[in-house]
Structure 1
Amino acid sequence: MLRALLGRKSGPQVIDSPEKLAQAIGVGYESASGQRVTTTSALQQLVVFSCVRVLAESIGMLPCRLVKQDGRVRLPATGHRLYPLLTMAPNGFMTAQEFWELLVACLCLRGNFFAYKVNALGNVGELLPINPDIVTPRLKDDWTVEYAVDFKSGRRVLTQDEIWHVRLFTLDGLNGLNPIAYARQQLGLGQAMDTHAAKLFTNGAVTSGVLRTEQELTDEAFDRLKTEFQGEHMGVANAYKPMILEMGLDWKPISLSAVDTQFIESKKLTESQLCGLFRVPPHMVANMEKMTLNNTEQMGMNFVNYSLVPIMTRIEHRIQVGLLNEKDRLNHYAKFNAGALMRGDLKGRYASYGQGIQWGILSPNDCRELEDENPREGGDIYLTPMNMTTNPEAADDADKTAS
């Protein structure tokens, strides 16, 4: 009674999982299904993990180059300090691919990505990623942004010159919306379904049918029936083998009930909605239920145009604004090469190269460069179709008439 009045617990709370830790410190989002949704619990759902991995790895494998534009001429800015950071290694412990994958994963799971900019002689010399959970952006009265970062050594307030911030879709122009927080109802429902299915197979019994008889079997008859039935009628090799039953035995097959069927359909609907959250086509996460040979190619194009391109343009613009100084951003910009996604289609690449050479858009050496091949002699010539040339005589007559 005294412990109850004084508010003391009868025993210490044991925290032995990330979910219990999140519940103890108040991290996560409550859902109507009773499940607490956190980043860790969301990633434990296979469809969420697959969607985030597909987006992260698809952008991570694309080359990102810094380009300098001089009039109409655009060339790789290999001499700029930022070029090796974007193409090779942004810091001493990560490759460029790992860095882009982490950036996209943070956008998908938290809506924001932060990196500390190590400046050297007015240029960014290194990018160190920061856990978004310890960063709090704030817009000051003079319309400048500051970031409160809770390091292990204590809280520090940093400026925009020290933090590189990439945000997802935003409503206030500063904080990216967290997809996990806004989709917590569907994610909580998915967690509840996974828990229910796990307990069903742990505590329940699932079988394809039963043998039934009104007679009482002796222990010897039961053991003989069990041995013969398992040896003669179980396994793929014994499929569709006729049964020989005795002593009034009757085989009754068991199929899925309406409740089980509805559970499966509800789980499929939840997984489809989670694919829509990340804008990943279902076939990219191994769901080929409604896919055909006719729509697979179109869905792949939609994945590039409507799933990857919005993320790539966000990163490209933030590189130009957040990593380049005011002078360089006027004639420098970053560009992901989405054409690398076509490298698996040899026939499609060579067909497009042929059309590009035929119409004078590309030279043979341009195509060889795209294929990582050395240039050949005489390969820098751009062809012009004979039926597409101008008429010089008509131009001369026009000049005489004007004079």
Structure 2
Amino acid sequence: MKFRDRIGHAWKALTDPDWIKKLEEASGWNYNSASGMNVTSESAMRISTVNACVRIIAETCASLPLDIYHRLDSGGREIARKHPIYSVLHTRPNPWQTSFDWRVQLFTHLLLRGNYYALALDHGDMLIDDIIPMNPDTAKVEQLPDYTLRYTFTGLKGETLGPYPKPGIKVLHIRALSSDGVLGRSVIADARESFGAALATQEFTGKYWSNGATPSGVIKIKGKLAEGQADRIRSQWNDDHGGASRSNKLHVLSEDADFTKIDITAEDAQFIETRRFQRADIAGLFRVPMFLLQSDSNTATYASAEQFMLSFVVHCIRPWIINVEQALHRNLFSAPEFYFPEHNLDAILRGDIKSRYEAYQIARNQGILSKNEVRAKENENPLTKPEENGDSHLSLAEIQNAKKGAAL
């Protein structure tokens, strides 16, 4: 083959919109499992539990308010709405995504592929103006002798982008669990056997339903059948009764034919128990409580569900958002000692209105919160009149009077 032809074939392969998928299948990135199923991030998302876990984590994290804070000399902090990167992270990271869209994609990449990559563009003013997500499947990460990292990517048209970082372009790289500190590990790859078994069970169940979800049977006909007659009878029976939509139809047999049903149900084949176990196994890998997956378990009461939600926030959501906050802080802020990003977890930790108001009363009477700080937590406008003392905290004497009043 001529060199020019080789170049032509190579370019054709790179510009094929499915080339990444084909390369994934050919290179072993599809994580073959003992079940015989090829497990990829895309095929794993066809498992209902995986899809639900990814959506729950990604959409919950993305729905949290992401604010930029300024450290005050007094040791406190305040929201820095005028910081140039505030609108980028909070509202518009790039021309085609909202902050919610961008963060859903970010957490989805972390959950399925173990790494999130983006190019942070400053357009010459040393302040980040745009965050451009990159396909993690096309990323090449190289650790140089000085331990810095160099990145190259493949563009939408198959062109090589990079190496990065370079003036005007930073790389935002966020890792999931990592064993070498350079690349994150994919839970899909690490637990390929669990996902492969779930895919195999799901495929088998689909085929089971395509055959009517009813056990096989035997048609007994007196005498000897002519050549091909058995195949025609079997084909006709399957045409009339195959598939869930054609189950339980009335079928008329000739006087010489008799149908005997073989009673093997899905529960006898342990389908239900197997799928229940796989659902719990996958939920455990993502650390998502079963009650959030609308499990058929009856063990979750209102009180226990509240504790489960707290556990979900502490053990699942919090590690992910801290990981993202620290990566944003490290990569995007030119003065990290004065400014930092932080998600607000109050929205999903808020109890019922009675519990909240009782907690506010305690905080108010202890001099911890002012009236306006309480109102801000309830999305109410601040008290601005001087006589309303909206920003003042109770003094020691006022606290003691409040305690005396509560004791009466």
Is the pair's TM-score, using the shorter chain for normalization, greater than 0.5?
A: yes
Shorter-chain TM-score tier: 0.7 to 0.9
Whole-Å Cα distance in 2 between the matches of residues 205 and 167 of structure 1? 43
Partner residue, 2:108: 105
1:153 is matched by which residue type in structure 2? E
Q: Distance in 1 between matches of 2:100 and 2:396?
A: 41
> Could you tell me how far apart the structure 1 residues matched to 2:370 and 2:146 are?
52
Mark the CA change 1:387 to 1:74 in structure 2 (over 3 Å): closer, same or farther: closer
CA distance in structure 2 between the partners assigned to 1:57 and 1:107 by the alignment = 13
Match of 2:143 among 132, 139, 142: 139
TM-score (ref. length: structure 1): 0.76
Q: CA offsets per residue over residues 258-316 of structure 1, 9 Å max, x none?
A: 7423x321221111110011110111111141532142111110000010000010011
SS in 1 for 2:336: helix
Residues in 1 aligned to 2:269 and 2:160: alpha-carbon distance in whole angstroms: 53
Between the aligned partners of 1:336 and 1:23, the Cα distance in structure 2 is: 38
Backbone CA RMSD of aligned residues: 3.2
- More displaced, 287-296 or 128-137? 287-296
Note closer, same or farther for the CA distance 1:256–1:148 as it changes in structure 2 (3 Å cut): same
Structure 2 match to 1:47: 49
Where does structure 1 lack aligned partners over 5 or more consecutive residues? 1-15, 208-233, 235-251, 390-403
Q: Given residue 122 of structure 1, which amino acid in structure 2 is its aligned partner?
A: M
**CA deviation vs aligned residue, 1:25-68 (integer Å, no higher than 9, x gap):** 65411000000001111000000000000001111110011101
Question: Do the aligned residues in 2 keep the contact of 1:35 with 1:192 (CA within 8 Å)?
Answer: yes
Match of 2:391 in 1: 380
Structure 2 residue aligned with 1:334:
341
Q: What residue in structure 2 maps to residue 180 of structure 1? A: 188
* C-alpha contact 1:42 1:187 (8 A) present in aligned 2: yes
CA distance in 2, matches of 1:69, 1:318: 18
The TM-score, its normalising length taken from structure 2, stands at 0.75
Cα distance, 1:204 vs structure 2: 4.9
Provide closer, same or farther for how the CA distance between residues 174 and 24 of structure 1 changes in structure 2, counting only shifts above 3 A. Answer: closer
The change in CA–CA distance for 1:99 and 1:19 in structure 2 (over 3 A counts) is closer
Sequence identity of aligned pairs in percent?
30
| Partner residue, 1:355 | 362
Query: Quick one: which of 153, 166, 170 aligns to 1:162?
Result: 170
Does structure 1 retain, via aligned residues, the 8 Å contact 2:291–2:300? no
CA contact (8 A) 1:112 1:176 kept: yes
For 1:13, the equivalent position in structure 2 comes to: none
Question: Structure 1 residues 89 and 365 mapped into 2: Cα distance closer, same or farther (>3 Å)?
Answer: same
Aligned counterparts of 1:291 and 1:329: Cα–Cα separation in 2: 46
Change (3 A) 1:174 1:340: same
Give the aligned residue type for 2:171.
I
How many residues align? The count is 337
Does the CA-based 8 Å contact 2:118-2:172 persist in structure 1?
Answer: yes
CA-CA distance at 1:156 after TM superposition: 2.6
Answer whether contact 1:115 1:129 (CA < 8 A) is retained.
yes
Unaligned segments of structure 2, at least 5 residues: 1-17, 216-247, 249-260, 401-408
Q: Please tell me the residue identity of whatever aligns with 2:68.
A: L
Q: Distance in 2 between matches of 1:354 and 1:200?
A: 59
The structure 2 residue matched to 1:87, chosen from 85, 90, 104, is 90
